[in-house]
Amino acid sequence: MVIKNDFSLQKLNTFGLNVTAKHFVELNSTDDVIEFFKSERQNNERTLILGGGSNLLFTKDFDGFVIKINIGGIHVVKEDEHHFWVKAGAGVIWHDLVESCIKANFGGIENLSLIPGTVGAAPIQNIGAYGVEIKDTFEALEASNLETGEKKYFKNQDCNFGYRDSIFKNELIDKYLITNVILRLTKQPILHTNYGKIQEVLHELAKEKITIRDISDAIIKIRQSKLPDPEKVGNAGSFFKNPIIPIELLNALKKSYPNIPSYEQPGNLVKLPAAWLIDQCHFKGMKHKGAAVHINQPLVLINHNNASGRDIVELSMKIQQKIKNEFGITLEPEVRII
Ligand code: FAD
Ligand code: EPU
């Protein structure tokens, strides 16, 4: 376990922002985690756990400890007639876990193909895509308390999962280091093909029996056609959450915008596509200093030319202001701004 000082995070965040950590350490196993808690680090410095850095926006150098989690391993830990329980280390690349489950024909996370980042971060915002969220297969996670090192087991119902939300973004933010995640996957996969263009893409295959591999391939194709690859253009996926508003506000907006798309939610609420709202305000391709709004998906902000974190935040605030004025809706960032 080597502690490095003034360590560059530029290659460790998908916006590619040129910032440093005052202290930086990589933990490669649960033994490293135990050793780390025994070490002399406990000097009240601010701490940030880092996975793949694909949902973070650094606005300045981090004046504290950045702990990069590399804990590996994917194992079946239990089995019954209908399910496999799979335990994966927090540092496993999320898509590698998806791939190994598809290869083994374990169903449940194929719709979450190609989401960047690590297994340990996946429960933090309850990652979701194409009609599925991790909460649907999530059994439990193991974590260590960042102050005491004490281990704790969180079951599904302990995590308060919601849309892009969990207890780890709220009352337990920066309180626990997740070491492992356990998912409950099905032996007879239930296929989720109703969302967006999945069926359209599957139809082109003209196959009689669709497999989880076909679904994964279709989703990868759709994602690659819409979202910029962070290896080529710095970004962190959707910058804002899709807003959830009362149905009365939607009805009022329909007078001026009869074609506004919306998705029903429980409790007289509706979810609106933030991309549509931003598109209506003609932000596509708009540049602000080194930051820009992606030309195809206006919910994605990009580092188009050596942007600073501040450039991206300023652009995001311009968008928020305009959407507030135009629609009376507050857009909430999905990306964590540090
Ligand atoms: P990081 O960005 O490193 O960290 C995110 C948060 O989790 C931070 O608060 C961090 O402190 C905390 N954290 C990370 N690891 C741990 C740990 N082991 N223990 C405790 N806390 C931890 N998200 C979706 O939900 N759906 C999508 O479809 C989607 N598409 C995306 C597409 C692109 C191109 C990009 C760049 C991002 C996309 N995202 C999507 C967002 C992102 O991939 C997810 O939020 C992902 O889970 C972040 O993982 P990470 O390892 O990079 O986390
Ligand atoms: N739209 C426009 N103009 C555009 C693009 C989209 O008006 O240029 C409208 C259309 O009405 C479209 C709608 O926005 O139907 C939704 O767009 P899209 O299908 O691309 O999905 P999204 O709402 O932008 C969400 C998630 C993604 C996830 C996809 C697929 C959020 C904040 N984002 O995107 O997650 O991959 O659905 O499920 O919920 C992420 O969280 O980082 C992320 C990429």
Backbone angles phi, psi at 269, to 5 degrees: -115, 160
With contact defined as beta carbons under 8 Å apart, do 319 and 278 qualify? Answer: yes
334 is catalytic: yes
Return the closest-CA partner of residue 311 out of 292, 297, 330: 292
Q: How far apart are the first and last CA of the chain?
A: 25
Pocket test for ligand 1, best of 9, 11, 14, 49 (most atoms within 8 A of CB): 49
Q: Of residues 54, 144, 166, 238, which has the active-site annotation?
A: 238
Residue 208 lies in a domain: no
CA angle 322, 326, 330 (to 5 degrees): 65
Here the CATH number for the domain that contains residue 269 is: 3.90.78.10
For 180, the domain range is 74-186
Q: Do 60 and 108 belong to one domain? A: no
Q: Of residues 164, 166, 184, 308, which has the active-site annotation?
A: 164
213 is catalytic: no
Ligand 2: residues with CB < 6 A are 129-130, 196, 226, 237-238, 241-242, 261, 273, 275-276, 279, 297-299, 334
Residue with CA at minimum distance from ligand 2 atom 23:
273
Residue 215 lies in a domain: no
134: tokens are: 């991790």
Q: Do 83 and 63 belong to one domain? A: no
With contact defined as beta carbons under 8 Å apart, do 1 and 25 qualify? Answer: yes
Q: Do 109 and 39 belong to one domain? A: no
* Ligand 1 and 336: CB distance under 6 A: yes
Q: Do 53 and 93 belong to one domain? A: no
200: tokens are: 């359209």
How many CB atoms within 10 Å of residue 220? 15
User: Counting atoms of ligand 2 from 1, which one is nearest the CA of 240?
Assistant: 32
The three-class DSSP label of residue 274 is helix
164 is catalytic: yes
Here the CATH number for the domain that contains residue 83 is: 3.30.465.10
Total residue length of the chain: 338
Q: Do 42 and 101 belong to one domain? A: no
Closest ligand to C-alpha of residue 175 is: 1
Place of tokens 């602000």: 288
Question: Under 8 Å CB-to-CB from 120, ≥6 apart: which residues?
Answer: 49, 51, 69, 71, 89, 90, 91, 178, 179, 181
User: Counting atoms of ligand 1 from 1, which one is nearest the CA of 133?
Assistant: 25
Please report, in tens digits, the pLDDT of each residue of the chain (338 residues total): 899 999 999 999 999 999 999 999 999 998 898 888 877 665 678 999 999 999 999 999 999 999 999 999 999 999 999 999 999 999 999 999 999 999 999 999 999 999 999 999 999 999 999 999 999 999 999 999 988 889 999 999 999 999 999 999 999 999 999 999 999 999 998 999 998 899 999 988 878 889 999 999 999 999 999 999 999 999 999 999 999 999 999 999 999 999 999 999 999 999 999 999 999 999 999 999 999 999 999 999 999 999 999 999 999 999 999 999 999 999 999 999 99
Angular region, 267: left φ>0, alpha ψ -120 to 50, beta rest:
left
**CA dist., res. 5 & res. 268, Å (int):** 51
The three-class DSSP label of residue 209 is coil
Q: Do 18 and 97 belong to one domain? A: no
* Ligand 1 and 114: CB distance under 6 A: no
Angle between helices 212-226 and 94-103 (to 10 degrees): 150
* Ligand 1 and 49: CB distance under 6 A: yes
Here the CATH number for the domain that contains residue 11 is: 3.30.43.10
User: Counting atoms of ligand 1 from 1, which one is nearest the CA of 179?
Assistant: 18
How many CB atoms within 10 Å of residue 188? 8
One-letter amino acid of 66: V
